A and B are shown apart, each in its own frame.
Chain A
Amino acid sequence: MNTYEKLVYLASNPFDKNVLLNQLSNESPRSYQVVLKMLDIDFKKDMMAYQTSIDMRQACETKVVGI
């Protein structure tokens, strides 16, 4: 499973201790930035194989005062 597939799996199997986001380490990554990097690597591979690209930019701010 790649990182995306693991995330989908873990969303519906939250108690499964056998699937780890990072198989090289026994611990889950500590920050979302680490997961973003892992996803980026996977999506770049996907893009080469299937020509589909996912924009990695984050639209985090959706509120501004005064409008």
Chain B
Amino acid sequence: MNRLVIAGSGIKFLSHLTFEVQSVIQKSDCVLYLVNDPAMKKWINDHSKKAISLDEIYFGFNKRSQAYRSLSREIIKITKDNSNTCFITYGHPMLMSSISLMLINELKEKSDGISVEVLPGISSLDCLLCDLNIDPGTGGIQAYESAEFIDKDYYINSNSHFVLWQIGVVGLDTIISDESILLENKIRYQAIVTIKRKLLVHYPESHLVILYVASMYPTLLYERIEIPLSSLNEVDIPRLASLYVPPYC
């Protein structure tokens, strides 16, 4: 039976690559990767028997959903040709990764001789908890993908910690190859306005919220932009930002 390991490389280059994932990269017959850091790409290339970048497929599409389906098919195809394959994504493979879930579901459905194992990586949420000194054991935590938060009417407990992922690209379902388009995008702006409006039902305008980006490289500091909720649509939200809303009590 061929084996596919889905693993996360963490957020901060090499510092977050667990010993377990390093070993899998080094021992696999083939390593497929889709990461956001060129240094990580080089490390994988230098430390694997065979490495294949999935960038060409990813950036070959306009819609992200189409790219993920194509990537999933390619990963399964290559897994069938190798005894031990691993797919490396950045961060945590089960946090904000449609491809991982797609792969798992497809392999469960077909069960065509491939076993799958998922190995954790350090996620953006892990970094946020450390850098902002939050222990969700006190007060609890609610966390949503930003577009989903707009689409659904989730109950908000304003006494809990609250996180929105992917707020920097909210409203966009396309592959982003040029970051500069984000600031001018009207759909994105309207989505941010909608998020603000939904949050203002539960929090006052003056409530301080934090736009947070974890550090990608050793010695670099994380980014932290603290603003009143009322200013959420007036600041440049970084592409990689998460929104953290502290408890209001």
Evaluate contact between A58 and B36: CB separation under 8 angstroms.
Answer: yes
**Considering only CB atoms and an 8 Å cut-off, how many residues of chain B contact the other chain?**
51
**Considering only CB atoms and an 8 Å cut-off, how many residues of chain A contact the other chain?**
34
Contacting residue for B221 out of A11, A12, A30, CB 8 A: A30
Residue of B nearest to A21 (CB): B219
Residue A48, interface by CB 8 Å: no
Evaluate contact between A7 and B38: CB separation under 8 angstroms.
Answer: no
Contacting residue for A43 out of B36, B38, B64, B165, CB 8 A: B38
Residue A59, interface by CB 8 Å: yes
Contacting residue for A52 out of B45, B54, B90, B215, CB 8 A: B45
Known contacts: A61-B64, A67-B65. The answer to whether A54 contacts B38 by CB under 8 A is yes
Across-interface contacts of A43 in B (CB, < 8 A): 38, 42
Cα–Cα, bound, A60→B58 (Å): 11
Cα–Cα, bound, A50→B156 (Å): 54
- What mask results when residues 44 to 67 of chain A are scored 1 for a CB within 8 Å of chain B, else 0? 000000001011111111111111
Cα–Cα, bound, A35→B221 (Å): 12
Which one of B24-32, B97-105, B127-135, B196-204 is at the A interface?
Answer: B97-105
12 example contacts (A-B, Cβ-Cβ < 8 A) are as follows: A14-B219, A35-B220, A39-B39, A40-B38, A59-B34, A59-B35, A59-B59, A59-B90, A61-B64, A62-B90, A64-B65, A65-B147
Across-interface contacts of B114 in A (CB, < 8 A): none
CB of B185 to closest CB in A, whole Å: 14
Evaluate contact between A54 and B220: CB separation under 8 angstroms.
Answer: no
Evaluate contact between A61 and B13: CB separation under 8 angstroms.
Answer: no
Evaluate contact between A32 and B217: CB separation under 8 angstroms.
Answer: yes
Evaluate contact between A39 and B38: CB separation under 8 angstroms.
Answer: yes
Known contacts: A59-B35, A60-B176. The answer to whether A28 contacts B219 by CB under 8 A is yes
